[in-house]
């Protein structure tokens, strides 16, 4: 039954990624008007997720693993490695994209998809995989702990998935393609849940390094790709609105983290 609960919980969390379907009721004109607001929300959500959730959780894991003062240094080394890893992946995707354009790829010329879209999916995939591991570990403690953890993860996912959907569409995906790929990326939570159940003792050490790597990736995406998209504008009101959405993204992640900490205590 424990495995059934884990698969059910991670599937429910994955379904949250389908929230982008709600935008199908919007006209193209209205969607285009709110896309940069969603990008700003995603930037704040990713940065808040890294600073308020992933890095503190990583520090806790390093302390739990028995690292002393050197634990913080090792933690931030992996954050930097994650940052550099996503930088390298984006450089490769840029090269691959231009390579195809140089060879007269008609599809590429017709509608260019920014490498940012694939980076978002990779970052989300890693994050969702970690969520699956965490959910599996919590259900193996008790069903109630598992349900509470699943709810906490789902609450974190809703604002992030809304923002990520906006980024995918802004980067060249159609709405249906953005929903589909977002959902496929979210399904890594189910994979993480099953592997967590089968090999929990072995993968516990994996979480130790995946958390700061994901944090570094989120910081790269927010700072290098998303913030540059929203900081330029021809209207002061638009720039203020974008910044406000960014702050909302930060605020949501901070609030959810504080609620989670309050429950643990």
The pLDDT assigned to 107 comes to 44
The pLDDT assigned to 200 comes to 75
What residues contact 34, with CB distance under 8 A and at least 6 apart?
26, 166
Task: For residue 159, give both structure tokens.
Answer: 């604002």
The pLDDT assigned to 56 comes to 87
The whole-angstrom separation of Cα 15 and Cα 83 is 28
Contact 217, 122 (CB under 8 A): yes
The pLDDT assigned to 9 comes to 93
**pTM (global) more than 0.85:** no
Q: How far is CA 101 from CA 105, 107, 110, 177, in A?
A: 5, 9, 10, 21
Strand (E) positions, 12-110?
none
The pLDDT assigned to 101 comes to 46
- What stretches in the chain show pLDDT beneath 50? 101-110
The pLDDT assigned to 186 comes to 92
Contact 32, 150 (CB under 8 A): no
The pLDDT assigned to 262 comes to 67
CB atoms within 10 A of CB 264: 8
Task: For residue 226, give both structure tokens.
Answer: 């998303």
| Positive/negative CA dihedral, 98, 103, 104, 107 | negative
The whole-angstrom separation of Cα 241 and Cα 35 is 12
20-64 tens-digit pLDDT? 787 777 777 888 788 888 889 888 988 988 898 888 888 888 888
């Amino acid at each position: 039954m424990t495995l059934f609960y884990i698969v059910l919980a991670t599937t429910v969390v994955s379904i949250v990624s389908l929230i982008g379907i709600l935008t199908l009721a919007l006209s193209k004109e209205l969607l285009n008007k709110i896309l940069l607001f969603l990008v700003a929300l995603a930037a704040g959500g990713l940065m808040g997720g890294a600073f308020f959730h992933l890095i503190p959780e990583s520090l806790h894991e390093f302390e739990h693993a028995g690292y002393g003062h050197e634990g913080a240094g090792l933690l931030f080394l992996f954050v930097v490695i994650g940052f550099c890893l996503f930088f390298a992946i984006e450089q490769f995707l840029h090269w691959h994209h231009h390579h195809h354009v140089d060879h007269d790829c008609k599809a590429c010329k017709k509608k260019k998809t920014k490498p940012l879209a694939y980076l978002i999916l990779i970052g989300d995939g890693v994050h969702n995989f970690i969520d699956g591991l965490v959910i599996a570990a919590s259900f193996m403690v008790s069903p109630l702990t598992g349900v509470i953890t699943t709810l906490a993860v789902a609450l974190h996912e809703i604002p992030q998935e809304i923002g990520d959907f906006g980024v995918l569409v802004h980067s060249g995906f159609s709405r249906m393609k953005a929903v589909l790929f977002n959902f496929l990326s979210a399904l890594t939570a189910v994979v993480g849940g099953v592997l967590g159940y089968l090999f929990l003792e072995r993968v516990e050490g994996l979480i130790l390094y995946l958390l700061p790597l994901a944090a570094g990736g989120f910081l790269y995406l927010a700072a290098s790709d998303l913030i540059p998209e929203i900081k330029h504008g021809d209207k002061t009101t638009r720039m203020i609105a974008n910044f406000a959405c960014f702050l909302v993204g930060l605020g949501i992640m901070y609030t959810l983290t504080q609620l989670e900490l309050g429950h643990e205590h």
